[in-house]
Amino acid sequence: MNNYPKTLTELLDVATATYPQSLALVDGQTSWTFAELTANAFERAQFLRQQETAPQRVAIIAENSADMVGQIYGVALAGATAVMINARLKPREQRVLLERSKATCWVGDAPFIEALLELGPLPWGVRATDLETARTAVEGTFEPAQLDVDGPGWLLYTSGTTGVPKGVLLSQGNLLAGAANAGAARQLGEDEVLGLPFPLFHIAATNLLMCHLVGRPVILITGFEPDVVSRLIEQNKITSLSLAPTMVRRLVDYQATSPTDLSTLRTIYYGAAPITPSLLREASDVLKCSFSQGYGMTEASGNAVFLDAVAHRQGLEGEPELLTQAGSPGPLTTLRIVDETGREVPVGVIGEVTLAGPQITSGYDPEEGVAEAEFCLGGGFRTGDLGVLNESGVLRIVDRKKDIIITGGENVSSVEVEQALCELPEISAAAVVARPDPHWGEAIVAVVVPTEVPFDEDQVRKVLRSRLAPFKQPKDYVLIDHLLVNATGKVDKVALRALVLNASTADDTI
């Protein structure tokens, strides 16, 4: 399990030498072999090298495309860090992260770059360009940067409980270990063709590396439209899909009314949120494929714990308790459950889940003084999730310690939404909680104390749409005279969740 490329430059070198004419990726009408992908990445690295001052950090703001993949690899070949910026954020939200990252080169889809430029002059020393022009023909032999396992990889931003997104630094070794770990746990087939609708600016991009490690192609999908995905499965003979449960739901609904030939589809790898037994059963019947779950996070370079297809089948055939599990750690991962002091707890005792191994980040971005990642005794990364191990070493997640809402596969900080709400004159206090949702996994519900009655919900929604990305918008509002607090004076979110659930069950207007 130690014999795999440890850097992106090594990955491209091995793939090009071993599978030069094999298909590497498909994006609409664009199909690149590994040799063609490498040539594109070389041109992008050459462009970066020819800047007056070679950038140490290059921000990428784009939707899934072949050019984006070439840019990701090109940044590594140039010896720089790729700063992955969420393309779904509003331009002002993107600008904040870009300036925090201290990236001196911003590369992306033209509409995103244009929107950023409209906000005002660029910070000193920054150059912004679109993906189409961020290339320079390579004359002669191109010598990639000599990266080592601890060399610069990716910088991704993830919401934390403080409401301030943390910049997670992942080294070359972290990224390749995460990809290798997932590939080994999933046992990719020799004919594997992965369909990937998850955006590459998320940690899900390590799925791309997972396939390229074994010379298999990825079919890039921008957004998720079930008719488009169904057509691409049939056209490209896709054998596996990486989806969130919300995407599974939409695909099942579409196939029930507009059946397409999905006979090549063998496995759906899902994550970002749990899947309900009812959806799993329905999806298995309609899609005629197996399911495999992954549990992980940005700080772990993707998934580190896996529940395989066998466990899912057994869960549907009479062992439903298996479907409540997150699974077993991959071969490169050490998983421990610890108490408040960081000491390991006995089997069957609930504690905090910790992960260790070469795919785990060593910390957050030191450039901005973000608090260091928290590690416990023995070096395990504290995930903030509460879990329990059974005698077979299989993990079950009990609850999230971190106050994060997962809606449609996106992580949303409740604190960030609360802060935006409390800036509005219509609201004197607010708390944000999650409500189970059959479509999105979790729906964001705002419990607010209005400054006056009647509450102008339409105005609040209008203003928030200009300040927060669409996936961060509360779906519903619950009005209350005062926020419930516990004995220490802190907002009692347990009681608020119960209030929201009761209101929903009673079909109250919220």
Nearest-CA neighbor of 169 among 6, 401, 372? 372
| CB-CB neighbours of 114 under 10 Å | 13
User: What is the fold, at CATH topology level, of the domain defined by 404-505?
Assistant: GMP Synthetase; Chain A, domain 3 (3.30.300)
pLDDT bracket for residue 389 (50, 70, 90): very high
User: What single-letter DSSP state applies at residue 370?
Assistant: P
Residue spans of the domains in the chain: they are: 8-389, 404-505
Q: How many CB atoms lie within 10 A of CB 362?
A: 15
Residues 148-161 have pLDDT tens digits of: 999 989 999 985 43
Q: What is the second-level CATH architecture of the domain 8-389?
A: 3-Layer(aba) Sandwich (3.40)
Cβ neighbours of residue 288 closer than 8 Å, sequence gap 6 or more:
262, 263, 265
pTM: 0.82
Q: Which residue has the higher pLDDT, 58 or 88?
A: 58
Q: Is the pLDDT of residue 488 over 60?
A: no
What is the spatial distance between Cα 40 and Cα 8, in angstroms, rounded to a whole number?
14
- Per DSSP bridges, beta strands 427-437 and 476-479 are unpaired
> Which of 509 and 191 is assigned the larger pLDDT?
191
Q: How many angstroms separate the CA atoms of 305 and 82, rounded?
A: 26
Residue 194's φ and ψ, nearest 5 degrees, are -95, 130
Query: Model confidence over 340-353: pLDDT tens digits?
Result: 889 999 999 989 99
Flag whether pLDDT at 504 surpasses 80.
no
205-251: pLDDT as tens digits: 999 999 999 999 999 999 889 999 999 999 999 999 998 887 888 89
**Residue 229 confidence (pLDDT):** 95
pLDDT of 186 reads 94
| Average pLDDT of span 195-205 | 92
Per-residue confidence band for 490, with pLDDT thresholds at 50, 70 and 90: low
More confident residue, 372 or 159: 372
Mean pLDDT over the full length of the chain: 89
Predicted confidence at residue 161, as pLDDT, reads 36
pLDDT band at 366 (very low <50, low <70, confident <90, very high): confident
Please report which confidence band the pLDDT of residue 510 belongs to, taking 50, 70 and 90 as the band edges.
Answer: very low
Buried b (16+ CB within 10 A) or exposed e, 38-62: bbbbbbbbbbbbeeeeebebbbbbb
**In this predicted model, which residue has the larger pLDDT, 412 or 179?**
179
Which of 74, 292, 313, 43 lies closest to 183, judged by CA? 292
Q: For the ranges 19-33, 139-153, 208-222, which has the lowest average pLDDT? A: 139-153
Give the pLDDT mean for 260-276.
86
Helix, strand, coil percent content, the chain, rounded in steps of 5: 35, 25, 40
- Classify each residue of 289-321 as buried b or exposed e, where b means 16 or more C-beta atoms within 10 Å of its C-beta: bbbbbbbbbbbbbbbbbbbbbebbeebbeeeee
Q: Each residue of 402-442: pLDDT tens digit?
A: 667 889 888 787 778 887 898 899 998 888 999 998 888 89
Mean pLDDT to the nearest integer, 188-207: 93
Examine the pLDDT at 444 and tell me if it is beyond 50: yes
Q: Which of 200, 193, 159, 253 is nearest to 70 (CA)?
A: 200
Q: How far apart are CA 212 and CA 12, in angstroms?
A: 8
How does pLDDT run across 288-331, given as a tens digit for each residue? Answer: 999 999 999 999 999 999 999 999 999 888 888 888 789 999 99
Q: SS3 sequence, 156-204?
A: EEECCCCCCCEEEEECHHHHHHHHHHHHHHHCCCCCCCEEECCCCCCHH
Closest by alpha carbon to 80, among 167, 139, 147, 5? 147
Secondary structure class of 345 (helix, strand, coil)? coil
